A and B are shown apart, each in its own frame.
Chain A
Amino acid sequence: MAQILASVIDGVLIGSIYGLAAMGLTLIWGVMNVINLSHGAVIVLGMFALYYLSSVLGLNAYAALPIVIVIGFGVGVALYWIAVHRVIGRPPLMSLLSTFAVNMVLIGLGTAFWSTSPYNVPVSLPSVSWQGYTYTGTHIVAAALAVVIAGLLYLLLYRTRVGKAVRAVAANRAAAEVCGIPTTQVLALSFGVGVTLAFASGMLIATLFPFTVLSGGAYQLKSFVVTVLGGLGNPAGALLGGLFLGLIEGVATPFMPVSWMPMIEFVLFVFVLIAFPSGIFSFTRK
């Protein structure tokens, strides 16, 4: 019983980070109907941003978060103008290919700069032990920060004029344009925010595990599963989807080989797509 509870807690802690990563993906899809295949590579950039700020410049890992967010936003807006702006409104394959190309370029450049060797950001915080199981302080802080960042996104989207503009563009770009909303700038901002969320999740993951240039692939796949669970284009659903995925991992792993989890996750992915095409957390959509 203690093992199941420990696994559930671990699952919820890591699930909140999956959710944060997926929020970036789903926000971009929701606002501009672009499936961002460079999402995993951008998560990795967040990891390396922390590595440089923390291990090379000597900043405290958590104090580096605001800087990572600013860098992430800048990278996101730049990527929008370079690779996404011209394919908005074109057939979906165009944006898929464009963001896939960005993914390949980023991984290629990353491999050239950093090789594919593992990097490590040593972060030490007190842990909590209960019945022989240890919950690391880094996991707890990362999960808390993920929820805080998700909350800030909620405030941005639902309590600010900018957020209202983003939601208006997501609902109907032409109508938003007629109302005087500068939709192109809103799209650039939305892409920037989506990439910022990926950067932030990458940064938080880097405080927990060693990483390589290729680590983003696994988190991108999880983000797709979470996005489908939460409902495409639904950021609040993505956070719940992430927690749900983490919970499934936690509950299932005591009873089966851990190597089965990817198979189970993708069975769930297909099942939700068929049975609940709007996601199982579509009730959170406003």
Chain B
Amino acid sequence: MQIARLCLVAAATVALASPTVAADNDTLTIGFTVSQTGKLNTDSIAQMRGFDLWRDQVNEKGGIKVGGKDYKIKFVSYDDESQNGRVQQLYTRLITQDKAQFLFSPYSSGLTATAAIISEQYGKVMLTTGAAEEKTYELGNKHLFQVYSPAAQYLAGALQALKEKNPNAKIAFVYEDDPFSKAVAHATRDLAKKEHLAIVLDEAYSGSTTDFGPIINKIIASKADALLGGGHYADGSTLARQLHDQNANLKWVTLLVAPDSPKFAELGAAANHISVPSQWEPQVKFKPDFGPTAQEFTKAFNTKYDVDPGYHAAGGYAAGLILQHAIEQAKSIEPGKVAAALNKMVVTTMFGRTKFATDAKQHGLQIGHDMVLAQWQMKDGKLVKEVIWPSAAKTADIAMN
């Protein structure tokens, strides 16, 4: 009995001492968290699908070639429940127990800011996607690289397009009270002031808001004819539906993030003419230096998931492509050498151009990528998302209410 107990204790000790996932020699372990649950899950799961498609395609082709060796990709991921506290625990676990060699960010600027503290502390290269707020890149991080265009650019195109259509527009800024949405709204508000556009309302709301009635009454009272703002999927789709139900009489509505999801079309007439700043759309025609074209990616994604990709999915896929290219260029899996390759990188992928800032004040900030403005338009009784800005990339004219 005593011996059996000792054996049990010994086995338990060994099991606890061993890392959950051992990194074997021919495998590259990439760690990240996904908001499988919580308010960010719609966008986060789309991003994860992009990661997964990239991994599957790389592994089908034999892996990433580094110095005559092929490394298969292995993911370790956990559900962060859309909570900062979970991200802090799980990124530490990914690095110390799961031995992740590289990291992808969680979805959203808020969660990524937390993950970045951990990744930087351990000197791990982390590709951030779905994390546009600039502040995280202004803290002297050396291993953080942003795939998305920064937050300040999100509504800049919408503002230009609006000014072109209606120079006397009266704008209401209504946005979620979270780091990303606030960063976007504040940057755009400053830009609108410079452009001498009238701002008639500036209102932040909690991400858990379900009744936008009081805010819509304020919009109507302000006599705004354009609304810029939103936040993420849950609040943005609710706001769009109530703007329609309460007939807010807006000529122009641009919301962040939510309208990019194919699920947004389920709102029916409430989705019509809502525009969204987009990091990427399936119609773009970039000539990639490596990897698939946007159309090839869209086809592969649709085959795997039976739905067209939005920019969150494309961003996830692009993060994988960019990391792969950096590893191949570095001819090494050492974080320092891969970070150096990323610093030097100026490439075009299916996601567009990528270049990272290298000065210490904003190291890793994305400075090569441009955004487009997409809009849901009813065509033959069916909602389709068209690119309406910039003019050079547009697939349809701007439609106003």
Contact = CB atoms under 8 A, between A and B. Distances in A.
Interface stretch (A91-99, A126-134, A181-189): A126-134
Contacts of A120: 237, 241, 266-267
A138 B203 contact: no
Contacts of A214: 38-39
A262 interface: yes
A258 B214 contact: yes
B247 A253 contact: no
A215 B207 CA distance: 12
Nearest to B241: A210
A122 interface: yes
B102 to A, nearest CB: 28
B205 interface: yes
A136 B245 contact: yes
A3 B218 contact: yes
B221 A259 contact: no
Interface in A204-227: 205, 208-212, 214-215, 217-218
Interface residues of A, number: 41
A10 B39 contact: no
Given A120-B267, A214-B39, A138 B245 contact: yes
A89 B34 CA distance: 44
A10 B203 contact: no
A3 B214 CA distance: 9
A215 B217 CA distance: 23
B246 interface: yes
B247 A209 contact: no
A254 B82 CA distance: 32
A118 B238 contact: yes
Interface in A127-151: 127, 129, 132-134, 136, 138-139
Contacts of A127: 245-247
Interface string B153-181: 00000000000000000000000010000
Given A14-B213, A210-B237, A132 B218 contact: no
B211 A117 contact: no
Interface string B211-255: 101110110110000000000011001100110011101000000
A160 interface: no
Given A122-B268, A129-B247, A262-B206, A7 B39 contact: no
A111 interface: yes
A254 B218 contact: yes
Contacts of A259: 177, 204-206
A171 B131 CA distance: 57
B266 A115 contact: no
B42 A258 contact: no
Interface centre among B36, B82, B245 (most CB of A within 10 A): B245
A271 B241 CA distance: 36
Contact of B217 (A111, A139, A217, A254): A254
B37 A111 contact: yes
Contacts of A218: 208, 210
Contacts of A60: none
Contacts, number: 99
Taking each of B209, B210, B268, which has the highest tally of chain A beta carbons within 10 Å of its own beta carbon? B210
A133 B38 contact: no
Contact of B210 (A122, A138, A211, A254): A211
Contacts of A210: 210, 234, 237-238, 241
A129 B82 CA distance: 39
A215 B29 CA distance: 36
A250 interface: yes
B214 A10 contact: yes
A6 B217 contact: yes
Given A111-B37, A118-B233, A134 B218 contact: no
B208 to A, nearest CB: 6
A253 B214 contact: yes
| Most B-side CB within 10 Å, residue of A2, A129, A211, A258 | A258
A209 B268 CA distance: 15
B343 interface: no
Given A215-B210, A249-B214, A258-B203, A116 B246 contact: no
B354 interface: no
A27 B215 CA distance: 33
Interface string B41-59: 1100000000000000000
B211 A3 contact: no
B217 A118 contact: no
A212 B235 CA distance: 11
A2 to B, nearest CB: 8
Interface of A: 2-3, 6-7, 10-11, 14, 111, 115-118, 120, 122, 127, 129, 132-134, 136, 138-139, 205, 208-212, 214-215, 217-218, 249-250, 253-254, 257-259, 261-262
29 contacts: A2-B221, A3-B221, A6-B217, A7-B214, A10-B214, A11-B214, A115-B41, A116-B37, A116-B38, A118-B234, A120-B266, A132-B220, A134-B245, A138-B245, A209-B242, A210-B237, A211-B210, A212-B234, A215-B210, A217-B208, A218-B208, A249-B214, A253-B214, A253-B215, A253-B218, A257-B203, A257-B204, A258-B215, A258-B218
Given A132-B220, A254-B214, 14 more contacts: A3-B220, A7-B217, A115-B36, A116-B37, A117-B263, A122-B268, A127-B246, A129-B247, A214-B38, A253-B217, A253-B218, A258-B205, A258-B209, A259-B177
**In the A-B complex, the 6 residue pairs with the closest CB atoms:** A253-B214, A3-B221, A134-B247, A10-B213, A116-B37, A134-B246
